[in-house]
Amino acid sequence: GPAGTGKTESIKDLAKAMGLLCVVTNCGEGMDYQSIGKNLNGLCQTGAWGCFDEFNRIEASVLSVVSTQVKSIQQALSLHVKQFFFEHNEIQLLSTVGIFVTM
């Protein structure tokens, strides 16, 4: 939807209604895959939701790596595992984790 219509707020409100933490990250051209990876790592281990706002501002080369990171999380969730390897480290995976993108 258009800017200012409440996309991010809707995600935050839904997380709150479910008793989950929602961490909003404002994305920009300066973001790299390492910083997003650290954010995703934390979300997986805490089971929190992450809302990546203004995701369209991230450079295409970074998006390529981030898509691989998200795919590995999705695969681990589909296998219902409690731990998996993410960015060369074995980490805990809580099934309540959620990853959302707004633009």
Question: 54-90: per-residue pLDDT in tens?
Answer: 999 999 999 999 999 999 999 999 999 999 999 999 9
| Dihedral pair phi/psi, residue 13, rounded to 5° | -65, -40
Residue 66 burial (C-beta neighbours within 10 Å; 0-12, 13-18, 19+): buried
pLDDT tens-place string over residues 19-49: 999 999 999 888 999 999 999 999 999 999 9
Q: Cα–Cα distance between 85 and 52 in angstroms, integer?
A: 22
Radius of gyration from C-alpha coordinates of the chain: 14
CB 80 within 8 A of CB 73: no
Give the chain's domains with CATH numbers: 7-101 (3.40.50.300)
Whether 99 contacts 40, CB under 8 Å: yes
**pTM of model > 0.85:** yes
